[in-house]
Amino acid sequence: MITYNFLQTYWWFLISVLGAILVFLLFVQGGQTLLSMEKNDIRRSMLINAIGRKWELTFTTLVVFGGAFFASFPLFYSTSFGGAYWLWMLILIGFVLQAVSYEYRKKKGNIYGKNTYDTFLAINGILATVLLGVAVAMFFFGAEFTINKTNIIDTKSPVISSWVSTHGLEAICNRKNLLLGFTVLFLARTQALLYFKNAIDDDAIRERSSKSLIFNGGFFVLSFLGFVGLLLTSEGYESTIIDGVETFTATPYKYLHNFIDMWWAAAAFIVGVILVLYAIIRSAFSKYYTKGIWFSGIGTMLVVMSLFWIAGYNNTAYYPSLLDPDSSLSIRNSSSSEFTLTVMSCVSLIIPFVAAYIIYSWRALSKKPITVKEMEESSHKY
């Protein structure tokens, strides 16, 4: 028989899968920060068309990720999205700039010029990656909020969660959060370079991408090692239920213990890291090797899923409160009702069909690598 605990565990797993896909697809944002790599107008258009064919997949995945979180763990959604207001507003503004830029960059009658929209794309590339990294970092390093569920009966102010007055700006200024933010930025740039090599058939672009991989890949590895070191030596909140009441206790090296206790999460993490390193090293030193994006993509998703697992499983608070430990959120105290999760679990059975559609769309949009001749002979979209 399916239990309530199983449903909560199952939905956290689905959230981890969606989060992993989203982080992989952020190579679109990473590519938008690399447009200055090409001064030639035709080759810059090749870069934009390569990532422009995929930008809607990233945005759609972000919406699905947020929607799934709202439906399965509504207390997190109301706490983070309602409390860290400025953090999420800046992310939203960045994605609005992206949508406008792809729509109007090459449109007839564009009065602002292509460079203006290229700048907007670069802004989205930085904001989306860094700030989403900051948002995820709060899963481990906490946020400044408190929870009082009795407030729901207060007709004047039925707000369950209370944040500090800066509403998310304090999270952006936190050095621990920013470390993961810049790690995600350079991961996205690294994967964009791998994708350019795969999606564009041009020796000049592939050569420059290989050279840029050395810097961007190296910076990513260093920042990632710094984040992992910080994570494994950090304390986390372990939840305990006594007489039906869930309490949280600060536990040194909690995430390291989670990796030890959940060997499968550690195995996924290690395999993922190896795949990403393989993709970076081989692609950086081989101009004609173009398959790195697939090794890096699979590796990235494995690492991200494993990080979600150690954040939410093994009686861990996935959203620690720095002001009141007992206000921390776990998959048990923040989920929807058993009935809601059961109904949604039935709906989730269509996910394989959605995945098949995404794969089909990806292949349909990338039947063959983009060439200079194709750009010169066609009225390219972006």
Q: Is the pLDDT of residue 381 over 90?
A: no
Q: Is the pLDDT of residue 375 over 80?
A: no
Longest dimension (CA), the chain: 72
Percent residues over pLDDT 70 in the chain: 92
Q: Is the pLDDT of residue 118 over 90?
A: no
DSSP reduced 3-state for 105: coil
| Dist. CA 61–CA 67, nearest whole Å | 10
Q: Compute the half-sphere exposure of residue 90: CA atoms within 13 Å on the CB side of its CA.
A: 20
Query: Which pLDDT tens digit goes with each residue over 150-171?
Result: 666 555 555 666 777 788 888 8
Report whether 142 contacts 175 (CB < 8 A). no
| Dist. CA 197–CA 37, nearest whole Å | 14
Number of helices (H) and strands (E) in the chain: give both, helices first.
17, 4
Query: Which pLDDT tens digit goes with each residue over 194-247?
Result: 999 988 888 888 889 999 999 999 999 999 999 999 999 999 999 888 777 888
Residue 120 one-letter amino acid: F
Mean pLDDT computed over 179-190: 96
> CA of 28: how far to CAs of 32, 45, 51, 380, in Å?
6, 14, 5, 18
| 1-5, 220-224, 369-373: which is most confident | 220-224
Query: What is the pLDDT, as a whole number, of residue 33?
Result: 93
Query: Which pLDDT tens digit goes with each residue over 284-333?
Result: 998 888 899 999 999 999 999 999 999 999 999 999 998 888 889 999 98
Q: Is the pLDDT of residue 102 over 90?
A: no
**Confidence class for position 380, pLDDT limits 50, 70, 90:** low
Q: Is the pLDDT of residue 283 over 70?
A: yes
Query: What is the pLDDT, as a whole number, of residue 376?
Result: 60
Q: Which helix (H) or strand (E) holds 36?
A: none
Mean pLDDT computed over 124-147: 92
Q: Identify the DSSP state of 200.
A: B
Report whether 318 contacts 244 (CB < 8 A). no
Query: What is the pLDDT, as a whole number, of residue 167?
Result: 82
